[in-house]
Structure 1
Amino acid sequence: MTVKLPQPLADYFAAKNRHDVDGMLIPFSSDATVRDEGETHQGSATIRGWMEATTTKYRVTVEVADATVNGDAWRIAGIVSGNFPGSPATLHYHFTLANDRITRLEIGA
C-alpha cells in the first residue's frame, strides 16, 4: 500500500530503511520524546543514542502499511523486518508533529 505521509515522516522512514541515523534524527525537534521498549528518550542526544543502539541491534526496515491522522497526530502501521524473533511483525508508530518536526514518537505492538 502506498501512503502519502507528511515530509518529516516520509524522511524518517526513508532514513530508517537506509539505516541512516543522521537522516532519522533530522525530522525530530531538539526536545522531542521517543518511547520504545518501555523506555523514554528525550532530547536529540538521547534519541540519537537510542537510534544508534536499535539500528545496530535490529537492522530493521519498515514498510508503511496504513496511516491515520487526527490533527497533528499520526498513527502508522508498519510491517517491520529485521534481526528479532517473530520478524516480520506489525508495529504501530504514534507520531506527534509540530512546525514540520516530530515532537513525539511512541512505538508499540
Structure 2
Amino acid sequence: MTDHTMPADAADLPEVVQRYLKAHNERDTAGASATLTEGATVVDDGRTYEGIPAIEQWLDRAASEYTYTTTFLGAACDGPDRCTVTQRLEGDFPGGVVDLHYRFTLDQGLISHLVIAP
C-alpha cells in the first residue's frame, strides 16, 4: 500500500506529471503508461526501459517487489518541458528510506523521458 501526500505547491506541476505521480503511487500501470509518449524511456536504478511495453513491465515489477510509502518533498521546473520532483520512499526495501529525484522531460504534453535517482 502506498500513502502519498502532495503539498499545495505540487499543484504547480504540469498536469501530466501530476497524473503520472498519482498513477505510479497508486500502482496503476495503465494510468501511468497513459502519460507517456510511445517511445518514452525510463531510467531507474541504473537500468533503462525503452517503450511502453518495457516500462509497463518495470512498473508492474516495482509495484509488487516492495511495500513502501511515498511523501512529496518538493519540485522545481526548468521551463515548460522539464521538471524534477523529489519524493521520500520509506518501506521494506534495502536501506528502508531514500529520497528520490524524478527528472521528467515532456514532449507535446506527454512524458518522453524520466530519470529516477537519489
- TM-score under structure 2 length normalisation: 0.84
The residue aligned with 1:70 is 78
Aligned-partner Cα distance in 1 for 2:34–2:51: 12
**Which residues in structure 2 correspond to 1:54-69 (within 5 Å)?**
54-69=62-77
The residue aligned with 2:45 is 37
Aligned-partner Cα distance in 1 for 2:21–2:66: 15
Aligned-partner Cα distance in 2 for 1:23–1:61: 19
Instruction: Please state how far the C-alpha of 1:62 moved relative to its aligned partner.
Output: 2.7
Q: Contact 2:36–2:112 at 8 Å: present in 1 too?
A: yes
The residue aligned with 1:11 is 19
Q: Contact 2:105–2:111 at 8 Å: present in 1 too?
A: yes
Over the residues paired in the alignment, what is the CA RMSD in angstroms?
Answer: 1.4
Aligned-partner Cα distance in 2 for 1:10–1:33: 18
Aligned-partner Cα distance in 1 for 2:16–2:65: 24
Aligned-partner Cα distance in 2 for 1:20–1:61: 15
Instruction: Please state how far the C-alpha of 1:46 moved relative to its aligned partner.
Output: 0.7
Deviation by residue 1:39-66 (Cα, 9 ceiling, x = unmatched): 1011011111111111110244432211
Aligned-partner Cα distance in 1 for 2:63–2:91: 10
Segments of 4+ in structure 1 off by > 6 A? none
Deviation by residue 1:76-104 (Cα, 9 ceiling, x = unmatched): 11112333123332111100011110000
**Which residues in structure 2 correspond to 1:15-26 (within 5 Å)?**
15-26=23-34
Gaps in structure 2 of 5+ consecutive residues: 1-6
- TM-score under structure 1 length normalisation: 0.90
Aligned-partner Cα distance in 2 for 1:16–1:59: 13
Gaps in structure 1 of 5+ consecutive residues: none
